[in-house]
Amino acid sequence: MPNLFESKKTVAIINIAMLAVLSGSLVANQVYASKLKQHLGIYGNNFFGNLLKKFGGNVKLSGSIGEDAVKLAYAQGIPDMYGAELNVNFDEVQRSMDIMKQFDPTYGATKLDLSAEDMKRYINIALRISCEFCCGAKSIIDATGEAACGCAHSQAMRGLAAYLIKNHGAHYTDDQVLRELARWKGKYFPKQMVKKMSDQLQSGNYTPDIAALLLDLKLPKYSADGKSAPLPSEIDNADSMVGGC
């Protein structure tokens, strides 16, 4: 006849072993989930909150052209998804520019090679934004994808475009990549970009860079009266250009 004590001891050992296996499985799942989130560029615990923040809809507009132009054209803080990866910050423009320009496929110290499909996206995006306040080029590349100018601003924009397409291509549409370039352009040329934004909010006629900054946003009805909205004093006194040509 089986020993009751020995039977209970055996069951206890089996339960402890099963608990250990379950605990190990839970830990492994957490590690895997963490690595997966990092691979996908998702940071923090609020997955859907991060997506909403990243893909627009979080800018509160007042209906005042002067105020809204500043909010829309003058980014602040750490960019979502790639900001922590690259250690770039909208409040540290020169340092961030120096980091991003190293990936420029033409002039970068760490050039990124793009596949044929990625190069099509790169050309589609980069042909729609220019560095007109510095070098005067109509776009930052030519039709073949080569750099149209060598100024630091365009190098940084090309570098960021290549980086996002290569490393986060599944998470950004072409328009969303363009929006990131335009946000940095607003930091390179704060006074000019706020003025450009205010003028186009009034006219309703948008260039691709300004349209990208308005992506996914519902705009108030702005008045078309007057030639131009006045700039807020803090932007009036802002730098015309950060970084050299």
Least confident of 23-27, 92-96, 108-112: 23-27
- Confidence (pLDDT) at 13: 60
- Confidence (pLDDT) at 239: 57
The reported pTM is 0.71
Residues 135 and 191: beta-carbon distance below 8 Å: no
pLDDT at residue 54 is higher than 90: no
Task: Specify the higher pLDDT residue, 50 or 1.
Answer: 1
Contacts of 201 (CB under 8 A, 6+ apart): 65, 68, 69, 219, 222, 229
Name the nearest CA neighbour of 210 among 243, 185, 173.
185
- Confidence (pLDDT) at 32: 38
pLDDT at residue 144 is higher than 80: yes
Name the nearest CA neighbour of 192 among 134, 129, 150, 243.
134
User: What are the tens digits of pLDDT across the range 23-53?
Assistant: 554 444 444 334 433 333 333 333 323 332 3
Q: How confident is the model at residue 136 (pLDDT cuts 50, 70, 90)?
A: confident
**Can you give the chain as a three-state secondary structure string?**
CCCHHHHHHHHHHHHHHHHHHHHHHHHHHHHHHHHHHHHHCCCCCCHHHHHHHHCCCCCCCCCCHHHHHHHHHCCCCCCCCCHHHHCCCCCCHHHHHHHHHHHCCCCCCCCCCCCHHHHHHHHHHHCCCCCCCCCCCCCCECCCCCECCCCHHHHHHHHHHHHHHHHHCCCCCHHHHHHHHHHHHHHHCHHHHHHHHHHHHHHCCCCHHHHHHCCCCCCCCCCCCCCCCCCCHHHHCCCCCCCCC
Task: Specify the higher pLDDT residue, 228 or 48.
Answer: 228
- Confidence (pLDDT) at 233: 47
How many CB atoms neighbour CB 224 within 10 A? 9
Mean pLDDT of 130-137: 82
Q: How confident is the model at residue 206 (pLDDT cuts 50, 70, 90)?
A: very high
pLDDT at residue 102 is higher than 50: yes
168: left (phi over 0), alpha (psi -120 to 50) or beta: alpha
